[in-house]
Amino acid sequence: MSEITTREAEILQILKKDPLISQEAIAKALGITRSSVAVHITNLMKKGKIRGKGYILNEEQNALVIGGANFDIQGFPHQSFRLHDSNPGTLKASPGGVGRNIADNLSRLGVATKLISAIGNDIYGKKILQEAAITNLDMSDCLICTDVNTATYLSLLNEHGEMVAALADMEIVNRLTVDYLKSKDAVIKSSSYLVLDTNLSTEVLDYLTSVYQNIPIILDTVSVAKAERVKDIIGRFHTIKPNQYEAELLTGIKIADKSDIARVEQHLLNKGVQQLFISLGSEGLFYSNGNQNGWLSSHQVKVVNATGAGDAFVAAVMYGCLKRMSIEEIATFAQAAAVLALSHENTINPTFTVENIMKILEGYHG
């Protein structure tokens, strides 16, 4: 199927909001002639994007993830981890990266997903593309670099599956410039939701959140250091998922106990955030959309690998938004998704499906 043009993408966005809008009204909104609109409408029908009376959209709900993709190398000790020593253990290598992990999980949940990232034309980059093909993740709009290596993330875990130390070579993600993303305007405009991670540069995050304000944007804050990049524009995001320390950085409010959460909640909602999920470790998960808020208790689970839990959570939030779940349903579903991710030694649990997440939920209520 032919790729749609920038103008066709703009018309699709208008039709999503009002499928019964007239061609004259579309022409006025875009500053073009009615006859030009008629041509674009005809082309969209030929490309299978709309059909029938009232311009019924033929396009399924989809997600576009823009963020980091890298190759993960993880070390698992056979016994208690000792610093400053050589630890017997197992090394595993697999595709990773916050944006890539979220996109991979979304594809496994059956969501039509595109990923825009930057990878090298090397063995790691080719492996990432091969893995994407297996899960039907569309990476056709990624930037392939020939003069720089694919990003690599090296982490050491302790006997509890928790990270002890890590090194991240993520310089290639800076190749995702504003100019490159401008070339993907039509792809971005045709997306139902955007998911961004803060591995992107400050300039790129500012550009995407200012130009595409009509598309709901979900943010993965990644880390305290990188969350600093969005502190001044946090209100442009529809949904955010910080942990306690990231929430403190974004609001300037110290969270000593649950009573402080109300001030954090109000601060973020006043800024413009529409949905927020704050993970507070053993204290559980707080969620709010301004109309409804609540707490979910933490569940006891044997942690095999804690690396991919946050990425699984964000993917599940995206899935819940597409399925129009209530915020409580989204929080519950996403928490169970994180538990499923924690239970496998791989960053991406190969059994990550809607059915298996629902089995976890059934176990809670059984």
User: Is 112 a residue whose pLDDT tops 70?
Assistant: yes
Over pLDDT 70: what percentage of the chain?
95
Domains 6-57 and 62-365 share a fold: no
Q: How far is CA 333 from CA 166, 254, 298, 328, in A?
A: 29, 28, 13, 9
Q: Determine the average pLDDT of the residues in 103-113.
A: 95
The residue whose two tokens read 């996403």 is: 334
* Lookup: tokens for 188: 């971005």
Tokens of 196: 């961004």
Average pLDDT over residues 144-168: 91
Percentage of the chain modeled with pLDDT above 90:
70
In the predicted model, is pLDDT for residue 7 greater than 50?
Answer: yes
Which strands sit side by side in the sheet containing 89-96, from one edge to the other? 89-96, 70-77, 151-157, 163-169
The pLDDT of residue 47 is: 78
Contact between residue 241 and residue 279 where contact means Cβ atoms under 8 Å apart: yes
| Domain 62-365, CATH homologous superfamily name and number | Ribokinase (3.40.1190.20)
Q: How confident is the model at residue 60 (pLDDT cuts 50, 70, 90)?
A: low
- Parallel, antiparallel, or unpaired for β 293-296 and 285-288? antiparallel
Give residue 252's pLDDT band: very low, low, confident or very high (50, 70, 90): very high
Model pTM?
0.80
Residue 300: pLDDT over 90: no
Look-up of token digits 């022409």: 27
Evaluate if residue 1 carries a pLDDT over 50. Answer: no
pLDDT at 2 (0 to 100): 61
In this predicted structure, what is the pLDDT of residue 16? 74
Report the chain's mean pLDDT, rounded to a whole number.
Answer: 91
Domain boundaries, the chain: 6-57, 62-365
Does residue 261 have a pLDDT over 60? yes
pLDDT tens for 306-316 read 778 999 999 99
Calculate mean pLDDT across residues 188-198.
94
Q: Which CATH class is domain 6-57?
A: mainly alpha
